[in-house]
Chains A and B, each alone.
Chain A
Amino acid sequence: MWISKRGFARRAVRCCAAAAMILTGSMVATVQADEQAAAKAGEAAGKVEIGINEYEDTAKKRPVDKSVTRLGEKPEDKSTTDHAKLKELQGPFSSGPEVTKACLGCHNKAGHQFIKNKHWTWKYHNPKTGQDLGKSVLVNNFCTNAAGNEGMCAQCHAGYGMTDARTYDFKNEENIDCLVCHESTGTYYKLPPTPGNKACSVMFEGKKPIDYTKVAQSVTLPGRNNCGACHFYGGGGDNVKHGDLSSALFKPSKKIDVHMGEDGENFSCIICHVGEGHEWAGSRYAPIAKDTTKSKPGLPRQTATCESCHGVEPHPMSLMGIKLNDHTDRVACETCHIPEYATGGVATKIHWDWRTAGKLKNGEGYREEGYIQGNGEPRHTYKSIKGNFKYGENLKPIYKWFNGTEIYTTVHDKFDPSKPVEINHLEGSPDDPDSRIWPFKKMVTIQPYDKGNNTLVYMHLWGDDDDAFWGNYKFDRAIARGMKDFNLPYSGEFGFVETWSYWPIVHMVQPKENALSCQECHAREGRLKDLKGFYMPGRDRNEWIDRIGIFIVLATLLGVLGHGLLRILFSRGRSH
Chain B
Amino acid sequence: MAVYKVKVFSRFERFWHWTQAALIFILLFSGFAIHGFFRPTGFENLVWTHVVAASALIVLWIFAIFWHLTTGNWRHYLPTTKGLFKVARYYAWGIFRGEDHPYKKRFWHKHNPLQALAYLGLKLFLFPVIWITGLAYLLYGFWSQGPVTASSLEWVAVIHTLFAFLMAAFIIIHIYLLTTGHSFKEHVSPMITGYDEVELTDAEKAYLEQDEPGRIMT
Contacts and interface: CB of A to CB of B under 8 A. Distances in A.
Nearest to B172: A556
B203 interface: no
A550 B165 CA distance: 7
Contact of A431 (B34, B147, B169): B147
Interface stretch (B37-45, B101-109, B194-202): B37-45
B149 interface: yes
Contacts of B153: 535, 537
Majority secondary structure, B binding face: helix
B154 A535 contact: yes
Contact of A535 (B35, B141, B151): B151
Contacts of B98: 570-571, 574
Interface string B12-53: 000000000000000000000011100100111001100100
A322 B165 CA distance: 29
B88 to A, nearest CB: 13
A3 interface: no
B154 to A, nearest CB: 4
A517 B147 CA distance: 24
A534 B162 contact: no
Nearest to A435: B147
A206 interface: no
A549 B158 CA distance: 10
B168 A567 contact: no
A464 to B, nearest CB: 56
A567 B166 CA distance: 25
Given A430-B147, A552-B169, A566-B96, A542 B158 contact: yes
Contacts of B214: none
B165 A518 contact: no
B115 interface: no
B157 A432 contact: no
Interface string A533-576: 11101111110011011101100110110011011001100100
B162 A329 contact: no
Nearest to B44: A518
Contacts of B91: 563
B182 interface: no
A534 B43 contact: no
Nearest to B167: A553
A563 B165 contact: no
Contact of A519 (B43, B150, B158, B162): B43
Given A430-B147, A518-B42, A540 B154 contact: yes
A538 B34 contact: yes
Nearest to B142: A326
Contacts of A519: 39, 42-44
B176 A570 contact: no
A431 B176 contact: no
B164 to A, nearest CB: 7
A523 B98 CA distance: 51
A538 B43 contact: yes
B179 interface: yes
A153 to B, nearest CB: 41
Given A430-B150, A556-B173, A560-B176, A517 B96 contact: no
A567 B179 CA distance: 11
Q: Which of A433, A517, A537, A574 has the most CB of B within 10 A?
A: A537
Interface string B139-157: 0110001110111011001
Contacts of A40: none
A560 B157 contact: no
Q: Which of A322, A542, A545 has the most CB of B within 10 A?
A: A545
A320 B138 CA distance: 11
A563 B176 contact: yes
Given A517-B44, A524-B36, A533 B150 contact: yes
B162 to A, nearest CB: 5
A518 B161 contact: no
A541 B147 CA distance: 19
B69 interface: no
B95 interface: yes
A304 B43 CA distance: 32
Nearest to B179: A564
A326 B141 contact: yes
A522 B44 CA distance: 9
B157 to A, nearest CB: 6
Contact of B172 (A433, A538, A553, A566): A553
Contact of B42 (A330, A517, A537, A564): A517
Contacts of A431: 147, 150
A433 B146 contact: yes
14 contacts: A431-B147, A518-B42, A519-B42, A523-B36, A535-B153, A538-B36, A539-B36, A542-B157, A552-B166, A553-B169, A556-B168, A560-B172, A564-B176, A567-B180
Top 4 nearest A-B pairs by Cβ distance?
Answer: A549-B165, A326-B141, A433-B146, A535-B154
Given A330-B149, A522-B43, A557-B172, 12 more contacts: A322-B141, A329-B145, A430-B150, A433-B147, A517-B43, A519-B42, A519-B44, A538-B34, A542-B157, A542-B161, A552-B165, A552-B166
